[in-house]
């Protein structure tokens, strides 16, 4: 029974990696051409899938930003709430004054 579960897990892993390689755009595959990644994943199911995930799969935008952001680079600005926006507060103050008059 455990060997059947292990086999199903490896099959699921292999199918996931193969689907991921096939659906990845050609220009996003890293280190090797996409067609070569497909061949590696098909011919070496376990190891090929693992290699794809570690060295072939495209990195996410968030990871790429983290890698390029150094201590001297500005951090991206995050959305601020209305109470943190000085323009919003000024406009709110103006509207409140108009209502009082």
Alpha-carbon distance of 89 to 78, in angstroms, equals: 18
Number of domains making up the chain: 1
| pLDDT tens digits, 28-38 | 889 999 999 99
41 with 17: CB under 8 angstroms?
yes
pTM check: above 0.75 = no
Query: Would residue 82 count as lying in a domain?
Result: no
- For residue 101, is it within any domain? no
Sign of CA dihedral 75, 79, 83, 85: positive
In a domain, 24, yes or no: yes
| pLDDT tens per residue across span 48-87 | 999 999 999 887 776 666 666 556 666 666 666 767 778 8
Taking the C-alpha atoms of residue 33 and residue 37, their distance in angstroms, rounded to an integer, is 7
34-43 vs 2-23: helix crossing angle, rounded to 10 = 170
């Amino acid at each position: 029974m455990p060997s059947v579960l292990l086999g199903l897990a490896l099959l699921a892993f292999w199918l996931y990696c193969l689907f991921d390689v096939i659906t990845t755009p050609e220009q996003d595959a890293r280190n090797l051409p996409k067609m070569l990644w497909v061949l590696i994943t098909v011919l070496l199911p376990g190891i090929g899938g693992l290699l794809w995930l570690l060295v072939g799969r495209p990195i996410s935008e968030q990871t790429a930003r983290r890698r390029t952001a150094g201590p001297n680079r500005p951090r991206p600005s995050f959305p601020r709430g209305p109470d943190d926006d000085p323009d919003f507060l000024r406009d709110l103050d103006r509207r409140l004054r108009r209502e009082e008059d």
